[in-house]
């Protein structure tokens, strides 16, 4: 388990090592980066570190937005549908549209329609 | 079209035949490693020649490879920081966010990689990542990320600096062999990448005191035990 205050540790400069107070494991981030594209060859050592922070910010933003949907529905449990609604509502999350609509079991992909 | 529920175990024979059977089973379905990160339930043809080209098994199964995502525990922890104490998170929401993170990383990386490619560079740098974020609409992340990166680089420089005692270094997962430092403060030390620090526990033992040179030293003790076995300074004991 990570020690408490890992987040504040980051801001206060308590970065003591690769396995230290980063919220997300750097090796895993690196693996995901490499999986994204066969052409990705080399990744600077600092890149996963930037991503660990960026993903934190991303999770926080997505969670906040999803929670707003939960509140609108007068619930206290955040469901996948709330995440999906948040994704639909926000432009910068467009790249997630397929992901959340696949997961929700509904096909939101526009089907090709032949005009008669 | 109803997807196969994720918790259903499917098609073990196909997986075994394909030789893709791995031990990180979490009771969830797994995804073929070669698959894209988008979409949890992309059907995959197993046994399409990886291990047995003469006998391809045209089975389809849905797998969820945990290696393609950041650990869900970390995701949950970050979510809980944001949500009020009474809030609950459903399991499917946790998994969805976990997938979104991987998709986010892939998305940004692709754009960053394209930039590198256009500029005939091979290595993706943090600057490429920041550029991609701005381009894709995440410009409000740029400032906190820049601050974070600068702070990290400052500390990295401190750690690498000649003035820093070798005892303020820390170990990470692995240690590379390097020439042991003399007992007296060395005028020069080999400049090492911050990944290769040696944990100072051995030094602490030798000198009989905690190296409290700076705040980082004492905070490292939490990470100590795993690295204490390696003792490059044993000869000085």
CA-to-CA dists, residue B88 to A72, A82, A101, B80, B91, angstroms? 15, 12, 22, 9, 10
**Cβ distance of B83 and A67 shorter than 8 Å:** yes
Mean pLDDT of B14-32: 43
Cβ-Cβ contacts under 8 Å, B219 against chain A: 9, 14, 16
ipTM over 0.90: no
3-state SS class at B117: helix
pLDDT value for B66: 81
Q: Tell me: pLDDT of B59 over 90.
A: no
pLDDT value for B137: 95
**Strand residues in chain B grouped as ranges (E):** 44-46, 59-61, 88-89, 123-124
**Cβ distance of A99 and B100 shorter than 8 Å:** yes
Q: How many CA atoms lie within 13 A of B112 on its CB side?
A: 31
- Band (B159; pLDDT cuts 50, 70, 90): confident
The contacts of residue B7 (CB under 8 Å, 6+ apart) are B27, B28, B29
DSSP state, B229?
T
pLDDT tens digits, residue range B163-206?
Answer: 656 665 555 555 555 555 455 544 555 444 444 444 444 444 44
Cβ-Cβ contacts under 8 Å, B69 against chain A: 28, 32
pLDDT tens digits, residue range B115-158?
Answer: 999 999 999 999 999 999 999 999 999 999 999 999 999 988 88
Mean pLDDT of A39-50: 91
pLDDT tens digits, residue range A74-109?
Answer: 999 999 999 999 999 999 999 999 999 875 554 444
B123, β-bridge pairs: A42
- B68, B99, B105: best to mutate for the A interface, most A CBs within 10 A: B105
More confident residue, B19 or A53: A53
Residue of B nearest to A2 (CA): B74
Q: How many CA atoms lie within 13 A of B157 on its CB side?
A: 5
Distance (Å, whole) CA B123 – CA B113: 8
**Cβ distance of B124 and A105 shorter than 8 Å:** no
CB-nearest partner of A98 from B2, B39, B125? B39
b vs e for B108-136, b when ≥16 Cβ sit within 10 Å of the residue's Cβ? bbbbbbebbeeeeeeebbbbbbbbbbeeb
Residue of A nearest to B133 (CA): A54
- Band (B160; pLDDT cuts 50, 70, 90): confident
- Taken in order B207, B212, B214, B216, the sign of the CA dihedral is positive
Distance (Å, whole) CA A72 – CA A78: 11
The contacts of residue A81 (CB under 8 Å, 6+ apart) are A69, A104
Contact indicator for A35, B69 with CB cutoff of 8 Å: no
């Amino acid at each position: 388990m990570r020690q408490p205050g890992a987040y504040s540790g980051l801001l206060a400069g308590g970065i003591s090592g690769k396995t230290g107070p980063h919220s997300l494991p750097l090796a895993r981030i690196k693996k995901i980066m490499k999986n994204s594209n066969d052409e990705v060859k080399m990744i600077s050592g600092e890149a996963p570190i930037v991503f660990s922070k960026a993903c934190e910010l991303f999770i926080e933003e997505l969670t906040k937005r999803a929670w707003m949907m939960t509140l609108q529905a007068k619930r206290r449990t955040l469901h996948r549908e709330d995440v999906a609604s948040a994704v639909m509502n926000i432009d910068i999350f467009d790249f997630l549209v397929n992901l959340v609509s696949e997961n929700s079991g509904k096909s939101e992909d526009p089907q090709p329609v032949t005009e008669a | 079209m109803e997807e196969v529920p994720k918790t259903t175990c499917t098609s073990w024979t196909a997986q075994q035949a394909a030789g893709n059977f791995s031990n990180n089973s979490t009771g969830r379905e797994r995804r073929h490693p070669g698959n894209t990160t988008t979409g949890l339930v992309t059907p995959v043809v197993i046994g399409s020649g990886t291990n047995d080209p003469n006998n391809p098994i045209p089975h389809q199964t849905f797998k969820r490879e945990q290696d393609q995502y950041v650990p869900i525990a970390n995701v949950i922890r970050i979510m809980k920081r944001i949500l009020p104490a009474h809030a609950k998170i459903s399991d499917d929401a946790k998994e969805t966010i976990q997938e979104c993170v991987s998709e986010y990383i892939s998305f940004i990386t692709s754009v960053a990689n394209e930039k590198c490619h256009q500029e005939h560079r091979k290595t993706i740098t943090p600057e490429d990542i920041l550029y991609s974020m701005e381009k894709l609409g995440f410009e409000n992340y740029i400032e906190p990320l820049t601050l974070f990166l600068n702070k990290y680089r400052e500390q990295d420089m401190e750690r690498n600096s000649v003035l820093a005692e070798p005892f303020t270094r820390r170990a990470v997962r692995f240690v590379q062999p390097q020439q042991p430092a003399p007992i007296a403060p060395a005028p020069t030390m080999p400049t090492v990448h911050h990944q290769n620090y040696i944990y100072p526990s051995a030094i602490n033992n030798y000198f009989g005191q905690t190296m409290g040179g700076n705040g980082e030293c004492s905070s490292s003790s939490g990470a100590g035990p795993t690295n204490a076995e390696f003792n490059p300074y044993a000869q000085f004991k």
